[in-house]
């Protein structure tokens, strides 16, 4: 389905395809890798490239995403003295091995933009800012290590950490949520752009819960607000297409259909009015992109509820 799904996204005005990398799928046993069939990451990125689009590769390798174990392979349980996602040598060893494996695969196929490929951004870790305080000083040390480990792989393109206000230079801190035009404090350095890695088109759903409905108008308004008010450079929809979590691949209590209310539904069919409304908004942004990118931007308050 990849060619069709990416083609529908392109027709809808999308420029960049973003994907997670699923550690538990690709390394089912320590040192044994699976990139066959629907796990063929290189083939997926090359399909993005073939359709003239860019890619954002969210390696993690902890990815959350309502995926079983957050993407961590279950065999990590058996590693002596391991503590996940902190300044712990056994965890860092296996994490670095996997991240390096993925980066080396992309480099070997010249898939980074620095090599003429489509990948313009990579992500290390995922929303660690939500739990960092629980690990105290070891959490901060882990963030510093993860950032340096990623940057030292020399991909030639920027790295991001989402929901990570203290992302170390040069890693870019990015926003996740529904209203980042209002909630995002902004980049933690004037040398970094404002990025929105997850603009939630709906929301995760557990068994027994009602489906979260977010209108096309609300998505479009807050996307434009981020671009204009926050001088945003990048907005990614989470999800533009979610699909199905087959078997036990979904996290505990999660329904098997994932973000069915996205612009492309569970089955990859166009969901209206979201798909067309966002397509029109994308065209409007591109029609005035030279104006948006020109000069120095200034925001002026016109009162309690209005800004220009």
At residue 99, φ and ψ (nearest 5 deg) are: -60, -45
- Confirm if 123 and 162 have CB atoms less than 8 A apart: yes
Q: How far apart are CA 126 and CA 124, in angstroms?
A: 7
Pairing status of strand 159-162 against strand 119-124: parallel
Residue 161 host element (H or E):
strand 159-162
Q: How far apart are CA 138 and CA 86, in angstroms?
A: 6
Of these residues, 47, 127, 132, 266, which one is catalytic? 127
CB atoms within 10 A of CB 107: 18
Preceding omega of 19 cis (within 30 degrees of 0): no
Q: How far apart are CA 202 and CA 214, in angstroms?
A: 6
Quick one: DSSP state of residue 113? G
Of these residues, 27, 47, 66, 198, which one is catalytic? 198
Please indicate whether residue 209 is annotated as part of the active site: no
Q: Please, which residues have CB within 8 angstroms of residue 197's CB and are 6 or more apart in sequence?
A: 18, 56, 58, 123, 160, 162, 174, 175, 176, 234, 236, 238
Please indicate whether residue 266 is annotated as part of the active site: no
Tokens of 171: 């890693």
- Confirm if 240 and 264 have CB atoms less than 8 A apart: yes
Which residue bears the tokens 């409905």? 213
Q: Nearest-CA neighbor of 176 among 58, 71, 24? A: 58
Name beta bridge partners: 196. Answer: 175, 235
| Catalytic machinery residues | 127, 198
């Amino acid at each position: 389905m990849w060619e069709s799904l990416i083609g529908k996204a392109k027709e809808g005005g999308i420029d960049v395809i973003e994907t997670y990398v699923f550690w538990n799928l690709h390394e089912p046993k320590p040192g044994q890798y699976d990139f066959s069939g629907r796990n063929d990451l290189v083939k997926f990125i090359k399909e993005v490239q073939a359709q003239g689009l860019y890619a954002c590769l969210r390696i993690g390798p902890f990815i959350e995403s309502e995926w079983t174990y957050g993407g961590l392979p279950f065999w990590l349980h058996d590693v002596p003295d391991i503590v996940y996602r902190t300044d712990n040598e056994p965890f860092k060893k296996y994490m670095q091995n996997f991240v390096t494996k993925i980066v080396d695969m992309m480099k070997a196929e010249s898939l980074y933009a620095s090599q003429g490929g489509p990948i313009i951004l990579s992500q290390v870790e995922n929303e660690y800012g939500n739990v960092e305080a629980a690990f105290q000083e070891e959490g901060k040390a882990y963030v510093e290590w993860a950032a340096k480990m990623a940057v030292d792989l020399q991909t030639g393109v920027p790295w991001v950490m989402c929901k990570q206000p203290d992302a170390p230079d040069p890693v870019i801190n990015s926003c996740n949520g529904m209203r980042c035009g209002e909630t995002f404090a902004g980049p933690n350095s004037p040398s970094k752009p404002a990025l929105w890695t997850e603009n939630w088109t709906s929301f995760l759903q557990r068994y027994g819960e009602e489906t979260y409905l977010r209108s096309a108008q609300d998505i479009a308004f807050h996307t434009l607000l981020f671009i204009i008010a926050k001088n945003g450079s990048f907005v990614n929809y989470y999800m533009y297409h979610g699909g199905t979590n087959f078997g036990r691949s979904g996290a505990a209590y999660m329904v098997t259909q994932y973000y069915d209310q996205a612009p492309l539904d569970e089955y990859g069919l166009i969901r209206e009015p979201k798909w067309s409304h966002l397509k029109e908004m994308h065209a409007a942004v591109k029609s005035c992109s030279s104006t948006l990118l020109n000069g120095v931007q200034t925001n002026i308050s016109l009162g309690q509820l209005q800004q220009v």
